[in-house]
Chain A
Amino acid sequence: MSYLFDTKSGTRYLMMGNDAIVRGALEAGVGVASAYPGTPSSEIIEQLSRASRERNIYVEWSVNEKVAVEVAFAASIAGLRSICAMKQNGVNVASDFLLHVALSGTRGGMVLVHCDDPGALSSINEGESRHFARMLELPLLEPGDFQEAKDMTAWAFGLSEELRSLVMMRSVTRLSHASGNVTIGDLPPTDKKAVFRYDGPLGDPDTGPVVTMPVPKNHVLLQNKLKKARELFEKSPFNTYTGPEKPELLIITSSACNLYSLEAVRLLNAGGRVGVLKLGTTWPLPPELIKKSLSRADKILFVEEVLPFTEENVKILAAEMAAEVGIIKFYGKNDGTIPMTGEMNPDIVVDACAKILGITYSPMPADYEAAAQEMLKTLSPVRDLTFCPGCPHRASFWNIHNALAIDNRHGFTCGDIGCYTLGFLPCGFNTMKTSHSMGSGIGIASGFGKLKQFGMDQPIVTVCGDSTFFHAAIPALVNAVHNKSDVIFILLDNSGTAMTGFQPHPGTPLDATGHELPDIDPAAVCRSLGATVEYADPFDIDGTQTALLRLMEEGGARVLIMKQMCALSPAKKGKKKFEVRVDENVCIGENCGCNRFCTRIFRCPGLVWDPERGVAVVDEVICAGCGVCASICPSGAIRKTEARA
């Protein structure tokens, strides 16, 4: 029985943080769920899609996070409960709309789950999304463990309805993608009807038109909502205190850092000296609770990630309450006790506490550590990230890199977000030279393509994935075409949103629940904008390089769609198109004419160098059978034969 459908309240499961959030939403009777894939949040929609097979829920992979919030908002003002999920960047994308949702208010409970990635484990930034709550004046919650992830999500919908405000709930990778025990509750019926009331008087929260105006009045109302939230948060069971009445040191923490703090206290055996205040209602802070906590101890350590959000909010209150709470020594990020950047872990908290409390704690004997570090250096070669065997991006970057080098005018490639972001690394032949947010590749290229009058006369290339294309690239491509910018826009079409787990997008014919939908053809979109459009199969090395060289001679906005399915797509996975082997009698190896071209330069993990025999060998366990290496081998030693069906 999947936790999604189990109606036996009280059953205990081991589940991921994201699963717990899903279960919480189901227990709250959520009606609509929308999102754009983003690690570590993607499982939320994936699981809700599965749930939608048996419950009346509409689940959508929206084209981007802004539209996802808009879709969820429609449900809310039609009286349904809705949930929206995204990674930290998504909040940035949706923020303009969120600003207006804050002012206009919501109706059916609406929860925005944003999953940050401290340490950038699966991101190219470690942005802190909690500040949006303060800036946009929205309540913010943070679950501190797996049970809370469920309970808090369910509660958030009710809170949203009481305040008539969108509620933000922030998770992190180490909660969303970690697993723990959760006891489930009841599943309610899903028979709510969608009704949008709009013909009441302006300003009526239930029946009037849903607008942000008049702004001054609505801003006052918004501030009142925050006041109400503070009152509710004073009594919230999600703010917990563990430890002695008057500890020597008070840790104020939230989210996964709660678990690290508890671990540190245990390791240092400091339960008698350290108290832990775990905040679940992170913004706005309940002032009485904070006052009480600040009065407990003279030393306070803030453990949070990534930026000192709570630290600074508490310090503001401390300044305001100084007469009542006295002078406190604060430790945290701003004084360097905790590193300002990177993700937290229990060891950092142990170090901080040990220093503050004067405890000597050595996680590892010094000589053991020295020996282990030496072994690490000499016996554990680092694993660079690489494209999967059979990945079309490897072939695409091979073609782009080579064409630019052959063209010999210092042309370069701007990049975007997806698996192909790895294109700036050796696995992508260091081809990509810029990498920022979704859709920024073509935006930046559009800028470069207008610098001819300043002497920039070289091919400008940009790469963009098929999902990224719909998410954010279209407006920038419009910009490039309309402003006559000289760019080559390469659409890397691998038929899915691969990096995050191969979710569908508007260019694929299936939706989140596996139903057929009309797929939108990127080529048609580009042509209708006025760009020239061509196709190439990146696995056709000669054909693609020839096309690229020709395109580099031309001007204007040129689109080349490099179409080849992702190696991990269900259609391809596990099936080798070719059996590939190296004929070692023909392999030139280290000698002039090759110098280990396949293993040293092409670097597909399926090809291994045998130093004893001085030849390359195909690792049949790893090889995906795409056959591209056979095209690049200078001696023809790599042979591919059609695999048996």
Chain B
Amino acid sequence: MKVLGSNELIAAVIDAGLCTGCGACVSLCPYLKSHDGKTALLFPCTRPEGRCFAYCPKVEVDLDEASLTVFGKPYTGEPLGHYIDIKAARAGHKMKKGNFQAGGTVSAIMTYALQKKILDAAVLTGRDGLRPVPRIVTSPASVAESASSNYSAAPTVSAFNQAMKEGYKRIGVVATPCQALALAQIRSNPMKEKNFTDPTALVAGIFCTWALDYRRFRKLLEGRVDLNAIIKMDIPPPPAEKMEIFTKNGTVEIPLPEVREQVPEGCGYCFDMTAEFADLSVGVHEGRTDSNTLIIRTERGADAVNGAVRDGYLEVSDLPKENREHLAAAAGNKKRRAMEKAAGEGLVNTGSGRCAAVRLSSITVQRGGR
């Protein structure tokens, strides 16, 4: 991949409105910081190339390179990405009842992986009031504190960078699609470091249609919700068209169209709904509130799932065909819309020395990875 520096990163991503605040460029150096979902450059860096640019999932992302790193095969553009199997899943008996989102699959797998020391640390995203807070967790019991969904974009990869700095070597991450793509970039060793080893042991992706700009979301809720009393947030399946916010003082409903207005611009360029670059991806199980869809993508992902099931942390069952089809259709729509938008703005396979958002082989483009 083409690696440039922070100045190019600012111009091509932040100033261009593509940033989704994933945190990949943060905690590498003192120049870039994340706050309330936004990424800021504190001082000018003069380096012509750096990790901030290399890790960013919104600039010069070579999808084939990323795919080869994670899967050993090139990118195909299929709606759900590469996978081995798709199941329904939920937390098993070993997991105490808690504040899970739907089936609690991610918490279960992470707890298992920490317990069995497959991971030496897990990077999760908790919440402080409404504000998402990335955390480095080493004790299995602490996983539950980060269990419920955030809807705001969180700089989770900055905590991953911090974990790498602190010397952890087998890091697990719960990542949104853009964060998982950033991790794939990191894993591809873009800076060509000698003696490089993959610092991740497990990447658990979560489905994402869009995220919310924290500041704008907070402004929307101020006055309607006591932000410090939020227990959980959820968007029920259509035709509900609302967001439900469960607080200690009762439930507040916000009309979904109002919520959608707080989606950052950068999400419009995202072609990945199911976190295609993770080892396994977890999301909604249509029609069920106590279960998840679980996409198993890699061998180490499969190992984690099988081990979690064997030891009682996780239960899996078959997922009906129509669920799979609906999921593929939804994912395909997001991919098509995003690629059309990006291509229309000249951000796909960009030429004449300017930065592209993504690069993919022309075969994939023709096949309508659109």
Contact = CB atoms under 8 A, between A and B. Distances in A.
B31 A595 contact: yes
A510 interface: no
B40 A408 contact: yes
Interface of B: 28-31, 33, 35-36, 38-43, 45-47, 49-51, 191
Question: Chain A contact residues: over half helix, strand or loop, or mixed?
Answer: helix
A595 B40 contact: no
Contacts of A632: 30
Interface string A612-636: 0000000000000000000010100
B273 to A, nearest CB: 28
Interface string A383-405: 00000000000000000011001
Nearest to A598: B30
A451 interface: no
A597 interface: yes
27 contacts: A402-B33, A402-B42, A405-B33, A406-B33, A406-B35, A406-B42, A407-B40, A408-B36, A408-B38, A408-B39, A408-B40, A590-B47, A592-B47, A592-B191, A593-B28, A593-B29, A593-B51, A594-B29, A595-B45, A595-B46, A595-B47, A597-B30, A597-B31, A597-B43, A600-B46, A601-B43, A634-B29
A547 interface: no
Contacts of B43: 429, 597, 601
A552 to B, nearest CB: 10
Interface of A: 401-402, 405-408, 429, 549, 590, 592-595, 597, 600-601, 632, 634
Contacts of B35: 406-408, 549
Nearest to B28: A593
Contact of A592 (B33, B39, B41, B50): B50
B279 to A, nearest CB: 27
Contacts of A405: 33, 40-42
A632 B47 CA distance: 19
A632 B42 CA distance: 13
Contacts of A592: 28-29, 47, 49-51, 191
B23 to A, nearest CB: 13
A408 B14 CA distance: 12
Given A406-B33, A595-B31, 11 more contacts: A402-B33, A429-B43, A592-B29, A592-B47, A592-B49, A592-B51, A592-B191, A593-B28, A594-B30, A601-B43, A634-B30
Contacts of A594: 29-30
A41 to B, nearest CB: 39
A601 B35 CA distance: 21
Contacts of A595: 29, 31, 45-47
Contacts of B51: 592-593
Q: Top 4 closest A-B pairs, CB basis?
A: A592-B50, A408-B40, A405-B42, A408-B38
A600 B31 CA distance: 12
A592 B46 CA distance: 10
A269 to B, nearest CB: 55
A477 to B, nearest CB: 28
Contacts of B42: 401-402, 405-406
A600 B51 CA distance: 20
Nearest to A596: B46
Nearest to B54: A592
